[in-house]
Amino acid sequence: MHVSKALIGILSMAATFLACSVTARAEGEVNIYSYRQPDLIQPLLDAFTKETGIATNVLFLDKGLVERIQAEGANSPADVILTVDISRLTEAEEGGVTQPVVNETINEDIPEHFRDPDGNWFGLTTRGRVVYASRDRVAQDDITYEELADPKWKGKICTRDGQHSYNIGLFASMIAHHGEAEAETWLTGLKNNLARKPDGSDRSQAKAIFAGECDLALGNSYYVGLMMTNEREPEQKEWASAIKVLFPNAQDRGTHVNISGMALAKNAPNKDNAIKLMEYLSSGEAQKIYAEQVFEYPVMPGVEPSEVVKSFGPIKPDTLPLAEIAANRKKASELVDKVGYNEGPQD
């Protein structure tokens, strides 16, 4: 069968148009693998798309993000990784699923101690690992982490699992500040002051204070905002009203903070768009949206937190580099087991 030159030309142009269309679609999107709940980050992504025209696709995972990207290998569609906690960011780096980013815009927006020295991850917002204190039963308005080991608090402290990444971050910071031996003594003292075996979430600790089970608890600052504004579960507003937020070590080194952050995936197929998204997320505009949505503190100096967060009082963040804290995570985990923290208080 003989095909005319005109038809060949038409088919050729159609193929070219199709190829260009596919390329255009590919260039117009960015794929995000996220440990953060989609509803928390969607307002940010909507604003990014509105500004740039670049579509965003989000895959939410509550665990196994690094393993997923490792299994996908060179064909992974992941462009940007969004997660919470320095532990999970360094886990991604150590798992070989990130690549370094050297970007003047991002580095200008994000202070040095909130980013990896090699550019493998960047902090976007911070949250304090604070003390929830009973409004009715705790008179003092300041405290230190060190004081939590004071026998005067025996039987009065609640926490979640000692191996949870939020607690491991705090315990790692204590090692960084005081050395392993002193941190072990402190952690033993904290364990002896527990009211019960570590259990539940940070919100559960506020509920326990409300119920009179303990007077103090460790928790992230942003959970207080989430409880205060929870319309679907109004009982959480009662838990929040039962506590006040104490920022430990406000008079000396400052309160331990952890981060939500981002990283560029190792095999990002839409790398240029991924960098654009990362630049946007580091901007003051995006950090303000993020902070308003999740009740966290922007890392960019000068960007204000939400009015709800301001109501907790001022925070003085510990400036210890998060990379240094992350380097002590393994030791912190080992100490939790060594002192039998999760066994709770021993009579």
What mean pLDDT comes out for the span 118-130? 94
158 and 272 housed in the same domain: no
229 and 203 housed in the same domain: yes
64 and 171 housed in the same domain: no
235 and 326 housed in the same domain: yes
Q: Tokens 């409004």 correspond to what residue?
A: 135
The reply to whether 9 falls in a domain is no
237 and 160 housed in the same domain: yes
What mean pLDDT comes out for the span 312-331? 90
Contacts 24+ apart (CB under 8 A), 206-210: 206/132, 206/236, 206/239, 206/240, 206/242, 206/243, 207/239, 208/158, 209/132, 209/133, 209/134, 209/158, 209/239, 209/242, 209/243, 210/238, 210/239, 210/242, 210/243
86-90, 158-162, 256-260, 327-331: which has the minimum mean pLDDT?
86-90
Fill in the DSSP letter of residue 160.
S
332 and 191 housed in the same domain: yes
With a cut of 90, say whether residue 342 has pLDDT above it: yes
With a cut of 90, say whether residue 22 has pLDDT above it: no
What mean pLDDT comes out for the span 268-285? 96
What pLDDT shows up at residue 322?
A: 83
The reply to whether 238 falls in a domain is yes
158 and 251 housed in the same domain: yes
What mean pLDDT comes out for the span 191-220? 97
CA distance 137 to 8: 85
263 and 300 housed in the same domain: yes
The reply to whether 7 falls in a domain is no
161 and 90 housed in the same domain: no
The reply to whether 235 falls in a domain is yes
The domain containing residue 184 runs over which residues? 126-256+315-343
pLDDT confidence tier of residue 249, bands split at 50, 70 and 90: very high
188 and 119 housed in the same domain: no
The reply to whether 21 falls in a domain is no
For residue 123, give the nearest of 69, 169, 75 by alpha carbon: 169
What average pLDDT does the chain have?
A: 90
With a cut of 50, say whether residue 154 has pLDDT above it: yes
The reply to whether 20 falls in a domain is no
What pLDDT shows up at residue 347?
A: 67
245 and 272 housed in the same domain: no
Count structural domains, the chain: 2
What pLDDT shows up at residue 264?
A: 98
CA distance 156 to 194: 6
Its sign, for the CA torsion 300, 301, 307, 309, is: positive
The reply to whether 59 falls in a domain is yes
CA distance 132 to 253: 19
Q: What is the CATH number of the domain that holds 270?
A: 3.40.190.10
198 and 332 housed in the same domain: yes
The reply to whether 19 falls in a domain is no
